[in-house]
A and B are shown apart, each in its own frame.
Chain A
Amino acid sequence: MSRASLFVPLGIFISILALGYVGFSLDARNQLPSALLGKPFPEFSATSLLRPDVKITKAELLGRPVLVNVWATWCPTCKSEHEQLMRIAATTDVLMVGVDYKDTPERAIQWLEQYGNPYDYVLDDRDGSLGIELGVYGAPETFLLNASGEVVYKRVGDINVRIWENELLPRFQALEIAMRGQSGAGR
């Protein structure tokens, strides 16, 4: 047996450590990649939470960048991201769509009255069926759609200042520029 082979166990040990180090430092181990990424947002027809006689469909979401935010009153993280959503609604002209996921409509309406309503449309998804169409497995989840209704980004977890500034805002701005370019070419 050569001297060098004595170091084989150490080598194995170090490679296990390296695997663990890389594995545990991967960001968002619990986040699934969305199956919808790069694909069109599914067709849907949902009742408006605030105007139950009105149906909202995908047609309403086309023509400009859209932020679809899945939330619920039972979700503490949704409370913590609410302020940031209010800021986004106030400072940009992105179309904000809330999906009230597996929730009690009365409570949801009360929540919006109490904390403010950042959404242009709020969809009532009390049985979670729209959530399944979107591949939602918890709340909050947020999708960014381009003007033709394709999902360009998905975030599982809260929208905080860091996520907004680093992930969402640059994409949103790129979408706006692309849109302006298109309408400019059309003229």
Chain B
Amino acid sequence: MIISSRMFCARSGAVFFACMFSLLMLGSAMTHAESQIDIYPFADEAEERRYKGLIEEFRCPKCLNTNLAGSDAPIAKDLRGTVYRLQVEEGYSDQQIRDYLRARYGDFVLYDPPFSAQTWYIWLTPVGLGILALALLARLLGRARKQKPVALSDADRGRIAALLEEK
């Protein structure tokens, strides 16, 4: 009985967590939704999906933590227009659009810093932390393996029995 109630507790904890997590995701999905709706005609749905994917991909240069799709800034609106023009009117490929924006606004718009003298630590810090974590884990496991069970004397056993009886 005790065991089953404990299981229930654990499960309800998981349910609670799952519930909160999905609420959180829903909340962020809602704020992520396009805050500005531009009306552009597209030949078909695939074209429109491609456009939406592209404006999701690029970062707004004015507002540092928002992409082009999610920003109200006038420059983001202009750049959405530029992406539309390049894609639909000029027939650029995705990579050509990326290169176009990068040539004007730098690596910043791509959310994808290149590996360079200025950015190496962004790339290497997670690797370093991972190695550190593995080393710590190995050390702890090694220590745990070295521990040996202690032999109990008859006196110890008697005391344990007495303590358990008391309960």
**A residues touching B (Cβ–Cβ < 8 Å)?**
30, 32-36, 102, 128, 131-138
Given A30-B64, A35-B102, are A132 and B79 also a contact pair (CB < 8 Å)? yes
Residues from chain A with a CB closer than 8 A to the CB of B82 are 132
Residue of B whose beta carbon sits closest to that of A34: B106
- Complex alpha-carbon distance, A31 and B104, angstroms: 14
With an 8 Å Cβ cutoff, the count of chain B residues facing the other chain is 14
Does B104 contact A32, Cβ atoms closer than 8 Å?
no
Cβ of B62 within 8 Å of any chain A Cβ, yes or no, is yes
Given A30-B64, A32-B61, are A135 and B75 also a contact pair (CB < 8 Å)? no
Tally of A-B residue pairs with Cβ under 8 A? 36
Residues from chain B with a CB closer than 8 A to the CB of A36 are 104
Given A102-B74, A128-B78, are A137 and B106 also a contact pair (CB < 8 Å)? no
Main secondary structure, interface of B, reads: helix
Does A35 contact B74, Cβ atoms closer than 8 Å?
no
Which of A34, A102, A137 has the most chain B CB within a 10 Å cutoff?
A137
Does B103 contact A35, Cβ atoms closer than 8 Å?
yes
Cβ of B92 within 8 Å of any chain A Cβ, yes or no, is no
- Complex alpha-carbon distance, A133 and B100, angstroms: 9
